[in-house]
Amino acid sequence: MHSSKLNWTNVIFFGVTHALGLIGAPLYIYFYGISWGEIILFLFYFSVTGLGITVGYHRLFAHRTYKAGKWVTFLNLFFGAAAFEKSAIDWASHHREHHRYVDSDKDPYSINKGFFFAHMGWMLFWKAPPTYPNVKDLQSNPLIQHQDRYYLAWVIVSSILLPVLIGTLMGHGLGTFLIAVCARIALVYQGTWCINSVAHTFGKKPYDLTGSARDNWFAALFTWGEGYHNFHHRFPNDYRNGVQWYQWDPSKWMIAFFRALHLTSDLKKTSKFKILNAKIAAQNSQATLYLNTFKNWSESLHIAELINTKYAHVTSLLQKWEQQHTTQKSLRFARARTRLLKKQFRSAYREWAKLQTCFTYLPKVAPLLS
Ligand SMILES: [Zn+2]
Ligand SMILES: [Zn+2]
């Protein structure tokens, strides 16, 4: 159907890396076994190239969620290149278009064109040229520009020559090529692509109901925390994707670890008030949507009123708490008032949350009541 637009370079490259990595590497291991050196090289390269994409290409270059010194910038460019996902400038350009036009025709990997298209089809069927005016900030950096201009040299050295050289010195050149190069490239590809397909199809929408992006904890497990995609689309400038402390997001921990070493700075964080506000607004929209499906139910009008009242109450308390917190935190009595407002908000939020729990049962209960 899209054959006239097939990008043969990508078709052949993806085909060869996947065949060698996912069929060739297991066959090699079956016949020749695997050494500790090959395992360590695979794990190291799988980790640093994956993190090069998430910590570097995504959160540093595409979204500028923190500032990095020269070493961190270089390492992100070096290992990001090794993932074979084009230069940081090309990647960021596509990704900024994705955020700007998400789910529309202009979204380079729109989920509305199908799961496979969003996953990898967009690179096979459609030669989407990057929109360079949207990456002028990156083009002004000589190191980033160098990686873009001499990308082929960067990728051959970082992705193939270096690991194969180390593998050859250990006496396992072919095994390293199949396992730490081909299998690793194919697996990191699949992880990255899952964010555009899986995390735009399966999961929850706690912060924003309008777009297709979803929080998917399972996808986060093998994408270095990128699975919390609903939060990310709602707050793309935040250096965290998994915003809760317990959410699996090694990329945010890595960025914070670099800050402790004074290698990164200015980590952008969305205020807890904005996050709570988005969460409550999304819950309110969800409750209204549930209720709209049961318009004929005699109680629906009464419940809609109850939602409106509770929503107004909980958001006004949140607003008061925020105002108090941001304006008068230095005075002792003001701090006490902040604590009081926080307590009042929490109690109102608990009530609100209970109401939400009721709504999850509404589709089952309402028909019985109507
Ligand atoms: Zn997305
Ligand atoms: Zn993004």
pLDDT attached to residue 2: 46
The one-letter code for the residue type at 231 is: F
pLDDT attached to residue 234: 98
What does the pLDDT look like over 218-263, one tens digit per residue?
999 999 999 999 999 999 999 999 999 999 999 999 999 999 999 9
According to DSSP, the residues that pair with 146 across neighbouring strands are: none
Whole-structure pTM over 0.85, yes or no?
Answer: yes
pLDDT attached to residue 297: 67
Task: Tokens for 364, please give them.
Answer: 């089952």
3-state class of 30 per DSSP?
helix
Q: How many angstroms does the Cα of residue 238 sit away from the middle of ligand 2? A: 10
Per-chain mean pLDDT for the chain: 92
Percentage of the chain beyond pLDDT 90 is: 79
pLDDT attached to residue 354: 85
Q: How many angstroms does the Cα of residue 57 sit away from the middle of ligand 1? A: 14
φ/ψ of residue 204, rounded to 5: -105, 160
pLDDT attached to residue 330: 63
Question: Given pLDDT bands bounded at 50, 70 and 90, which one contains residue 1?
Answer: very low
Mean pLDDT confidence for 347-356: 88
Q: Where are the beta strands (DSSP E) in 171-278?
A: 264-265
Residue 276 has pLDDT above 70, yes or no: yes
Residue 365 has pLDDT above 70, yes or no: no
Question: Given pLDDT bands bounded at 50, 70 and 90, which one contains residue 125?
Answer: confident
Neighbours of ion ligand 1 (CB under 5 A): 213
Task: Tokens for 323, please give them.
Answer: 């105002």
Say which ligand is closest to the CA of 215. 1
pLDDT attached to residue 5: 79
Q: How many angstroms does the Cα of residue 98 sit away from the middle of ligand 2? A: 8
Q: How many angstroms does the Cα of residue 64 sit away from the middle of ligand 2? A: 10
Say which ligand is closest to the CA of 201. 1
Residue 364 has pLDDT above 70, yes or no: no
pLDDT attached to residue 328: 61
Q: How many angstroms does the Cα of residue 233 sit away from the middle of ligand 1? A: 6
Q: How many angstroms does the Cα of residue 243 sit away from the middle of ligand 1? A: 16
Question: Given pLDDT bands bounded at 50, 70 and 90, which one contains residue 3?
Answer: very low
d(CA 71, CA 49): 16
Question: Given pLDDT bands bounded at 50, 70 and 90, which one contains residue 132?
Answer: confident
Q: How many angstroms does the Cα of residue 93 sit away from the middle of ligand 2? A: 11
Q: How many angstroms does the Cα of residue 237 sit away from the middle of ligand 1? A: 13
Nearest partner of 229 among 253, 205, 254, judged by Cα: 205
Rg (alpha carbons) of the chain, rounded to whole number: 24
How many separate helices (H) and strands (E) can be counted in the chain? 19, 2
Residue 351 host element (H or E): helix 332-369
Mean pLDDT confidence for 54-75: 98
Please give the residue that has the higher pLDDT: either 45 or 302. Answer: 45
Say which ligand is closest to the CA of 236. 2
Cβ(66)–Cβ(268) under 8 Å?
A: yes
Residue 370 has pLDDT above 60, yes or no: no
Q: How many angstroms does the Cα of residue 262 sit away from the middle of ligand 2? A: 25
What does the pLDDT look like over 300-335, one tens digit per residue?
778 888 888 999 999 999 999 998 888 765 666 778
Please give the residue that has the higher pLDDT: either 181 or 352. Answer: 181
Burial of residue 23 (CB within 10 Å: 0-12, 13-18, 19+) is middle
φ/ψ of residue 205, rounded to 5: -120, 75
Beta carbons within 10 angstroms of residue 229's beta carbon:
26
Q: Between vectors from CA 44 to CA 42 and to CA 48, what angle results, nearest 5°?
A: 120
Task: Tokens for 269, please give them.
Answer: 């964080």
Name which of 71-80, 119-128, 263-272 the model is least confident about: 119-128
Cβ(150)–Cβ(87) under 8 Å?
A: no
Cβ(187)–Cβ(21) under 8 Å?
A: yes
What does the pLDDT look like over 140-165, one tens digit per residue?
999 999 999 999 999 999 999 999 99
Q: How many angstroms does the Cα of residue 284 sit away from the middle of ligand 1? A: 23
pLDDT attached to residue 193: 97
Q: How many angstroms does the Cα of residue 274 sit away from the middle of ligand 2? A: 19
Q: How many angstroms does the Cα of residue 195 sit away from the middle of ligand 1? A: 7
